[in-house]
Structure formats: structure tokens, C-alpha cells
Amino acid sequence: MTAQCLLDAGGYQVTFAFHNGRASREYLDAVVELSLPAELGAVAVKSQPTFIAVKDLQRLAAYLGEHVAALQRDPDRDAPLFVPLELGFQLQALSGDVDSDNDGEFTLRFMINVGQPAEGSRVYVGAESTVEVVRIREFIASLEGIASESSRSR
């Protein structure tokens, strides 16, 4: 299986490219790319090749869905940092204005792990921008589809 999930956050895009190269059905190989549009310099940065647990994809989908629901009650809510076990990326859903399950927007901070110097700690590169709830719902659906397909394909 080779698949992609796209997160369009207005001021930036994140593309997850998944491959099931691992011997286990619980993990997918992944590369995450963060790109900025032409008016912001058309910069694109790719993560180090990593792997991600299918459970983490499901956990990410739930994290985002729960944040949308929580913002309807408390627009000032900032979710805790989301970091998968393999540390290939991290994100944080922040405050926003969400009127319903498919209407509104909130701020999303996204960072990808671009590597580690020989004598140093991991280096992350990222962006922060508002994202429309409808785009988050599309991303959640694609994550859930990848997780479901991965579970069935082995």
C-alpha cells in the first residue's frame, strides 16, 4: 500500500506519504512534508523517513475530532501537544472559533523532525496557521481510511 493524506492549513500544507514496508500490520513507513505556498516563498521541507503506528494515526484522528468538539464549548481551549511515539512530527491544536462540527476554524501548529546532528538533539521545522474545520474533517477521514486499509491489507 502507498497512500497520502493532505492537511491544508491555509498558510501551509502537510502531506503524509505512507508505505507499508514494515513486516508488521501495526506500522507504516512515513515521510511528512511541510510546504508553504508561492506567496510565502514556496518552501518545502521533508521529514526524515520514519514509521508510525496505525494506532497513532487513529489517535491523531481522535485528537483532532475531540478538539473540534471541545472548541464548541470553550473557544479558548488549547489541546496538549500531540507527539507520536516515533517522534517524526508533532502538532498542537490551539484556540479558535468553531460553531458546529463542520463550521469554523482554529489555529494549528505543526512541526516535522528534519533530522539530528551527530552531536545534538532532534531538529524540528514548523509552521502555525489557522485551519478550517471542514479541512480538518477531510484530513480525519483520510487518516481513518489509511488506518482501516492498513489493518485489512495484512
**pLDDT above 90: residue 46:** yes
If DSSP states are collapsed to H, E and C, what string results for 3-41?
Answer: EEEEEECCCCEEEEEEECCCCCCCEEEEEEEEECCHHHC
Structural domain of 130: 2-152
The per-residue pLDDT for 61 is 96
**pLDDT above 60: residue 23:** no
* CATH for 29: 2.30.31
Number of domains in the chain: 1
pLDDT in tens, 97-146: 999 888 999 999 999 999 888 888 889 999 999 999 999 999 999 999 99
Distance between CA atoms of 52 and 59, rounded to whole angstroms?
11
The per-residue pLDDT for 131 is 96
pLDDT in tens, 61-91: 999 999 999 999 999 999 999 999 888 899 9
Type and span of the H or E element at 53: strand 50-53
